[in-house]
Amino acid sequence: MAGEYSVVSLFSKIWRTGCVTEPLDPHSQRPLEIARQIEAKTKNILGRSLAIREVDAGSCNGCEIEITGLTSPVYDAERFGVHFVASPRHADLLLVTGPVTRNMEVPLRKTWEATPDPKVVVAVGDCAQTCGVFQGSYAIAGGVDKVIPVDVFIPGCPPEPADILLGILRALDRFPSKH
């Protein structure tokens, strides 16, 4: 099996590429600061372990694309002990995007109920706070905080992955201190 998909070429490419994870947001002045802050916070609060359940409550998927960036090799949220899980039962942070549509109102509340305590909610994107361009639509139930208590809003349309990480960091303050 010659060509670019052979075993040898795959691993030689891996070797040549090396680690591509970047410090947070190269344009910002405080990438390392954020990184250190997150590490320190999560270490204190949850032993640097955070499990995120992502809920799309009606978003245009712009925010989802940015959130996916968190798991990419470039942003690699996992290095901070942050990972996404498949069930709210396994999570302690809900990452909600989009204006809450009427159809997603009940599911969102059920997801929140299905997440064990202690937990926090982070609403990602402008829509999650103000419903954005969807404001006033008959299909919209309102912002995320109309349905479940939100700890942190992350503004932006869509917010960058680094901003999302920063928001997650701020949410960590909301965990009960005894934990």
Partner 1 sequence: MIAAHVVGALAFLVLRGAPARWVGAFLALIAGVFAILSSLRVLLSGISLAFAVSLSLPALALTFKLDPLGAVFLLLIGAVTIPVALFSIGYTAGHGAGGSAGMAGFMLHLFLLSMSLVVLAANVFTFLFFWETMSLASYFLVISENQDGETLSAGRWYAGMAHVSFGLIASALLIAALDTEAMGFDAIRNLAPAPELKSTIFILAFLGFGSKAGLVPLHVWLPKAHPAAPSHVSALMSGVMVKMGVYGIVRVGLDLLHGGPPWWGGLILTIGAASALIGVLYALMEQDLKRLLAYSTVENVGIVLMGVGLGFLFKSYNLLSLASLAMVAGFYHSLNHGLFKGLLFLGAGAVAQATGTRDMEKMGGLIRRMPQTASFFLVGSAAISALPPLNGFASEWMIFQSLLAGVRVPHPFTAALMAVAVGVLALTGGLAAACFVKAFGISFLAIPRSERAEQAHEAGGTMRAGMLILSSACVLLGVLPIAVTSLLSHSVDHLPGFAQVVPEPRPGAAEWGFGLKMQVPGSLSTISPAMLALILVTIMTAVLIGIRLLRVNRALRLGETWGCGRVVQTARMEYTSTAFAEPLRRVFGALFRPAQDVMIDFHPESKYFVQSIQYRRVIRTWFEEFLYEPLFRGIQGFAGVGRWIQSGSVHWYIAYVFIVLLTLLLIARWM
Partner 2 sequence: MAPYLLELAQCLFALTLAPGLTGFLRWIKARLQGRTGASPLQPYRDLRRLFRQEVILSTNASWIFRFTPFIVFSSVVAVSFMIPLVAAPLPFDAIGDLMVVVYLLLLGTFFLALAGLDPGSAFGGMGASREMTVAALAEPTIAVAIFGLGVSAGSTNLGQIVAGTLSRPSETFSPGHLLAFAAIFIVMLAEAGRLPVDNPSTHLELTMIHEAMILEYSGRYLAMLEWAAQIKLLVFFSLLANVFVPWGVAVVLTPGAIALAWLALIAKLGFLAVVVAVLETRVAKLRLFRVPELLSVSFLLALLAVTTSFLVR
113, 136, 138, 176: residue in contact with partner 1 (rule CB under 8 A): 113
9 binds partner 2 (CB under 8 A): no
Q: Alpha-carbon distance 74 to 33, whole Å? A: 18
Given a contact cutoff of 8 angstroms between Cβ atoms, the answer to whether 166 and 36 are in contact is no
Given a contact cutoff of 8 angstroms between Cβ atoms, the answer to whether 158 and 63 are in contact is yes
Q: Compare residues 42 and 111 and give the one whose CB is closer to partner 1.
A: 111
Q: Which stretch binds partner 2 (CB under 8 A): 19-27, 56-64, 96-104, 137-145?
A: 19-27
Q: Which does 111 bind (CB under 5 to 8 A by kind): partner 2, partner 1, none?
A: partner 1
Interactions with partner 1, residue window 58-87 (CB under 8 A): 87
Strands 140-142 and 152-154, sheet pairing: unpaired
42 binds partner 1 (CB under 8 A): no
- CB count, 10 Å around CB of 28? 15
Q: Alpha-carbon distance 84 to 152, whole Å? A: 18
90 binds partner 2 (CB under 8 A): yes
The angle subtended at Cα 169 by Cα 163 and Cα 170, nearest 5°, is 95
User: What size, in residues, is the chain?
Assistant: 179
2, 7, 29, 177: residue in contact with partner 2 (rule CB under 8 A): 7
111 binds partner 1 (CB under 8 A): yes
Chain residues in the site for partner 2 (CB under 8 A): 7, 10-11, 14, 17-21, 46-51, 73, 76, 78-79, 81, 83-87, 89-90, 92, 114-118, 179
